[in-house]
Amino acid sequence: MTSGDRGRPAPRIAVVGASAAGLAAVEGLRRAGWDGLLTLVGDEPHPPYDRPPLSKQVLSGSWEPDRTGLRSAEQLAGLDLDLRLGTRAAALDAAARRLTLDDAERTVLDCAGIVVATGVRPRTLPGTEGVAGVYVLRSLEDALALRERLAAPGRRLAVVGDGVLGAEAAAVATGLGHRVVLIGSGTAPMGRVLGAETGALLAAVHRAHGVELRAGRASGVVTGPDPAGGPDGRHVTGVRLADGGTVEADTVLVATGSVPAVDWLGPSGEAAAPGAEAAGAGARAADGVRLDLADGLGCDAHCAAAPGVYGAGDVARWYHPVLGRTLRVEHRMNATEQGLAAARNLLAELDAERFGAPRPFAPVPYFWSDQFGLKLQAYGVLEGADRIEVLCLEKDPLRLAALHGREGRATGVLGAGLPPRTVRGLRALVAGDAPADWDEALAAFRTAVQG
């Protein structure tokens, strides 16, 4: 299993996705002792960079692109990587652990193991291809293009999608002097995750800073002649809503969510039967290797999608053994933690005597968001709650804490405008080996927040 075995080709592990999760995986493999070949494939030309700043510091102009890099050239060189940037993965033969690259040579890599960390791709609106003035925000190029568009104040920006990305971009654009309409299916930014009460309080913050909130589902865009003579000759003039209304805009950011980047995995196998993942089976099947691609790459509790094939980051949907259900988490911290877990468990599968036994991946998910100087921080799972307790300490500036629960158990905590140390103190309420009883967690929550 070492690269120095005389007369044998060095074994290879390939990590597909030069993302935060992919970087964590290659670093974890090297730190654990993998001394074989290690290939990192990335479809963008850039070395791994941080995405959360794109909708905040990069978009606002307070950061230049080089500040988003996760590692220096010297640090990457120290990992002794076969680094293939600007190269897409074309296909994966999961049974043979054979990876095909979409390069000029159509290179085929035989691997001892593969970590899939290809992330997600942004959704778009129908009829927007080739229309000037319509943007998405996923890559560094996306952020720089939108930043250039917003360089001078006075734009009429419609942000379609009121999740974290849309809410952050709306906050930045308003601060840059633009008229912003935030369009969402609900009545409040991030309402689907935060719940009605917290969402309404956050909506008040946005309105106080000049953001117009519009409930509705976007069905497309309205276009007119492109004064700059763009390639398609059309420029956006507004967003068309499903109820027949229109939001006037000369710039549109589509932030309606994303789809897992698993299209290149399709030919390698059919989707597993629905519900197979409930028992932690993920993509494993007794009659052969097939990948579950129903919503991302389906994985078991060890992040394994198939023998020798592991998933990490936004693309991975895995069985969380503590919560007893599958999750797919699109948060920065999870990407790093899961990349490390996938690396560790892949090595354990390849050589348990050398690398030890695999360990289930059961994190307490964490995410944060910055909007108008307000920091939101959450531990656990907020979405899908059937009960929420909100303790609003102050409305201007907003300071609150919330406890989320589901089926009689506490699942997540949120702090807005609170010191990080305070929110970290609430983490213990959802960080046990089993979900805490709601009533017990609620009593502890009230004591911790109110004293």
Backbone angles phi, psi at 301, to 5 degrees: -65, -15
Half-sphere exposure of 389 (CA within 13 A, CB side): 21
Q: Please write the tens of the pLDDT for every residue from 200-215.
A: 999 999 999 999 999 9
pTM (global) more than 0.85: yes
pLDDT tens-digit series, residues 132-190: 999 999 999 999 999 999 999 999 999 999 999 999 999 999 999 999 999 998 889 99
What residues have CB less than 8 Å from 167, skipping those under 6 apart? 182, 189, 190, 202, 206, 369, 371
Cβ pair 335, 115 in contact under 8 A = no
For the domain bounded by 124-256, which CATH number is listed?
3.50.50.60
Superfamily name and number for 373-450: FAD/NAD-linked reductase, C-terminal dimerisation domain (3.30.390.30)
| pLDDT tens for each residue of 376-433 | 999 999 999 999 999 999 999 999 999 999 999 999 999 999 999 999 999 999 998 8
Amino acid identity for residue 128 in this structure: T
> In the chain, which stretches have pLDDT less than 70?
1-9, 229-231, 267-288
- Sheet of strand 309-311: strand arrangement: 82-85, 37-42, 12-16, 113-116, 309-311, 304-306
β-strands 12-16, 120-122 pairing: unpaired
- Name every residue whose Cβ is closer than 8 Å to that of residue 305 and which is 6 or more positions away in sequence: 94, 116, 282, 283, 291, 292, 297, 298, 299, 311, 316
CATH H-level, domain 12-121+259-355: superfamily: FAD/NAD(P)-binding domain (3.50.50.60)
Q: Domain ranges for the chain, please list them.
A: 12-121+259-355, 124-256, 373-450
